[in-house]
Amino acid sequence: MLEATYHFPKGFLWGTATAAHQVEGGNTNNSWYAWENQPGRIHQGQKSGLACDWWGGRWKDDLTQAAEDGQNAHRLSIEWSRIQPTADTWDDDELDKYREMLSGIRDLGLEPMVTLHHFTDPLWVYENGGWENDETPVQFANFVRRAVDALKDLVTFWITINEPAVVTNGGYLEGSFPPGKSDLGAAFKVIRNMLRGHAAAYRIIHEIQPDAQVGFAKHYRPLQPARPWFPPDVWITKFSSKSFNDGFSNALVNGKFKFAFFSADVPEAVGTQDYIGLNYYSMDQVVFKPFAVKNVFQRRYYPPEVQVSETGFIANRPEGMRAALKWARSFNLPIYITENGVEDSKDGMRPAYLLEHLREVWKAANANWQVKGYFHWSLIDNFEWERGWSQRFGLWNINPESQARTRRKSADLYAEICHENGISTQMVMKYAPESLQHLFPQ
């Protein structure tokens, strides 16, 4: 058998990604805690609780292991409600705890990438209308100034907002995220205000820290018409992609924000990203459904021939990663894969998914597409929002009651990839032999 290795560029960032509410535990003053305490909102009524107990100090063991496994970066978020528990108060002790965490991360040799808003709002913001309230971008900017000023010497890479289109779709169209609405006009107002908040945050960060690298994390979802010969399928696919995939990002180029049937001028957003933060999981086929108002006149599905995760949430479609990277390349900025992974408690699908997606990343990185890093979702199983503990994305399994960690074989695979800075035939034969012919055709 031919032995070969796909090597990534020198200095490539290898990491995992986490979010505060999903791993810290004890976040009881934000919108998601309120949501968890409403009956029927979370799978089987589950709650985040202690989560992965990072606020209790377990981040040290988990990230020490990540560093030993060859990772050289970690993406995490900081919780707004800890730092500003009420509209009129700040908690510097909580900021000091984040300083301790970030100092520890740096001491481990990990480059931190810090997200300032990852789905959660302080309860006082949520109760005042959240991002529907035009004051929220201003309040967010005040929080950003406080946090960045305190942490600037420890962080180079900032993400202002994680997946604004997902927040909007989940909270204001599908109703699975707080506040559980189905209101297209409210959805437009929310994502427009998030765009304003991002722009203000970008300028504040650069005012405080001129050499910082600032972006937002974009969940890119490639969409394909189920029947390319049927004009309604083609139309709804293009319509959805322009709103979900392009609206926010294009506004950072031209100041023109378009979402569904709405539009707005946001000139202050022009030029407010230094890199593309790309979250990719899977791609969908789209069918036009004229009466599916709540689902924006469509049904999405995976082709029957593709491998699908255990709850049907994600399909193994690495060609979608290629499409996402091609889209990201169009902005002519450095690209970081800020999330990519699959829910897989038995760890049977993850090795092939990881290797096949990373081969697409390797192709782009070695074609000089400015791909600079990859952050796997996630280091450890965590509280997956409205899906609770039902989906296991971690390289490590966790028992949320005992907090016991169990290493999966994918952790071994990812460690070999990080140490090698590449993918070899030996790795494929060891962890996903079914992918060998696809990854290393003879």
DSSP 185-244: HHHHHHHHHHHHHHHHHHHHHHHH-TT-EEEEEEE---EEESSTT-HHHHHHHHHHHIII
Residue-level pLDDT at 39:
97
Q: What is the pLDDT of residue 40?
A: 97
Q: What is the mean pLDDT of residues 224-251?
A: 96
Question: Which residues does 423 contact at the CB level (< 8 Å), separation at least 6?
Answer: 5, 6, 355, 358, 359, 362, 417, 439
Helix, strand, coil percentages for the chain (3-state, nearest 5): 45, 20, 40
Instruction: Tell me the C-alpha to C-alpha distance, in Å, between residue 172 and each of 122, 138, 189, 333.
Output: 18, 21, 10, 31
Packing angle of the helix pair 136-151, 184-208 (nearest 10 deg): 30
Specify the DSSP element, H or E, that contains 397.
Answer: strand 396-398
Mean pLDDT of 258-283: 97
In order of start, what are the domains of the chain with their CATH numbers? Answer: 5-439 (3.20.20.80)
Is the separation of the CB atoms in 85 and 122 below 8 Å? yes
pLDDT tens, residue by residue, 121-138:
999 999 999 999 999 999
pTM score of the predicted model: 0.98
Average pLDDT estimate for 407-434 = 98
* 37-73 confidence digits (pLDDT tens): 999 999 999 999 999 999 999 999 999 999 999 999 9
**pLDDT above 90 as % of the chain:** 97
Question: What single letter denotes the amino acid at residue 394?
Answer: G
Paired with 213 in beta bridges are 157
CB contact at 8 A, 28 and 79: no
Query: Distance between CA 351 and CA 433 in Å, rounded?
Result: 10
pLDDT of 321 strictly over 80: yes
pLDDT at 110: 98
- Determine the pLDDT at residue 291: 86
pLDDT band at 379 (very low <50, low <70, confident <90, very high): very high
* All residues at 6 or more sequence positions from 329 whose CB lies less than 8 Å from its CB, including other chains: 335, 364, 369, 370
Axis crossing angle, helix 247-254 with helix 184-208, rounded to the nearest 10: 50
Asked if the bond preceding 179 is cis, omega within 30° of 0, the reply is yes
User: Using N-to-C axis directions, what is the helix angle for 350-365 and 318-329, rounded to 10°?
Assistant: 30
The pLDDT value recorded for residue 295 is 80
pLDDT reported for residue 1:
65
pLDDT at 374: 99
What is the model's pLDDT at position 370?
97
Query: Rounded distance, CA 311 to CA 324, Å?
Result: 23
- Mean pLDDT confidence for 370-386: 98
- Separation CA 262–CA 260 (nearest Å): 6
Q: Exposure string (b/e) for 158-196, b if CB count within 10 Å is 16 or more? A: bbbbbbbbbbbbbbbbbbebbbbbeebebbbbbbbbbbb
pLDDT at 93 (0 to 100):
98
Tens digits of per-residue pLDDT, 161-198? 999 999 999 999 999 999 999 999 999 999 999 999 99
Which residue, among 164, 127, 165, 158, has the nearest Cα to 143 in the 3D structure? Answer: 158
Tell whether the torsion through CA atoms of 103, 109, 111 and 114 is positive or negative: negative
Residue 393 CA to residue 214 CA, distance in Å, equals: 26
Has residue 304 got a pLDDT over 90?
A: yes
